[in-house]
Amino acid sequence: MPANHVTHTVLAAYAASKVNISSEAAARRRAQVNHLRERLEAHIGAHPAYDLVKLRASGSTAKHTAIQRRRREGSDADVAAYVRASNVGGVDAGESGLLDWLCDRCREVYGDTKEAEDFVISDHAVGITLRGSGLKIDVAPVLYTGEPDDRGYLITRQGDRVLTSVTLHLRFMRTRREAAGPEYRELIRLLKAWVREAKRVDDQLRCKSFLVELIVAHLWDKGWNGEALAVHNYPRAFEQVLSFISRTGLRTPIVFTDFYTASAVAASTDAIQVWDPVNPANNVARTYKEADRQRLVTAATAALETVVWGIQAPTKGDANDAWREVFGPGFEGA
């Protein structure tokens, strides 16, 4: 059998140089988010009736699964702002007015230390630009009714109120990372890099970051085809993940039982069913249509064929070319 020229070590080196956010940049992001939290907490301490309750770092940056951006767009860090629902019109409060209100509160927390244009309302969050570092933090409101474990209601892009918990999502990730080791999160980042390249090739492809994380979590929990997820062998793990998507067609529901029983999930006819580990009523792929499922399966099948060829390729050049199809022309191989 030909040697595998693009090994785990090669992919780890590529991740370190082109995919992962540097430890220095990650530390700066955490420091800026913590600074925002400290300002808010001090303000809340001075104003006991304040409608903002707390901030929690959220999203890929908090889970250490964020990847480098090819362009300066979107946010660098995400923050969940827990808002006392009873003081802003309840869980069904209108999103537009809520974002205006949240923007005013963020300005209030910073006082005169920032310019008005540093606060920009997007579709579902308030963006805060920190001029010294250029960092952008997106602050999304979570309507809080006093439930434990930081459970609250996030407003989706479709306008629904979905129960979530930043704290439990982070615990879900941390449990698996501690069992699997640091390669677990880096594998997720490499898979996100594949999705990014696949979307560049096909701008209609849908595969959000959270979906990637949950597919990897499922394979870590259950294995695939009688084999544990090979987190310490990135080429093999890539093959496993892509094979899972290709062979199952993502037709089999994925359910986690960390925080509820499997029986809590109701039957569904959604094209893809990957259930939120925190909320058994929330299919994170609910908005994906049959055409979206087919497009994602097709992309994974094509990538699987490329990866298998890359693993078996007779020369380094052939192997590198295969992985460039997966990650894009910036891939630096063996």
Same domain? 80 vs 68: yes
pLDDT score for 74: 55
Boundary residue ending a domain (165, 186, 208): 165
Q: Are 326 and 13 in contact (CB under 8 A)?
A: no
The domain spanning residue 181 has which CATH number? 1.10.1410.20
pLDDT tens digit sequence for 127-145: 888 776 678 888 888 999 9
pTM score: 0.92
Distances (CA, A) of 226 to 215, 220, 229: 16, 12, 10
Does residue 1 belong to any structural domain of this protein? no
Range of the domain at 316: 8-16+169-327
Residues of the chain predicted below pLDDT 50? 1, 73
pLDDT score for 326: 97
pLDDT score for 28: 80
pLDDT score for 132: 66
Same domain? 64 vs 184: no
Among residues 238, 231, 228, 158, which one has the least CA distance to residue 198? 238
pLDDT score for 39: 80
Same domain? 270 vs 297: yes
Angle between helices 290-312 and 183-201 (to 10 degrees): 110
pLDDT score for 71: 55
Does residue 255 belong to any structural domain of this protein? yes
pLDDT tens digit sequence for 37-47: 788 778 877 87
pLDDT tens digit sequence for 95-119: 878 888 888 888 887 777 778 888 9
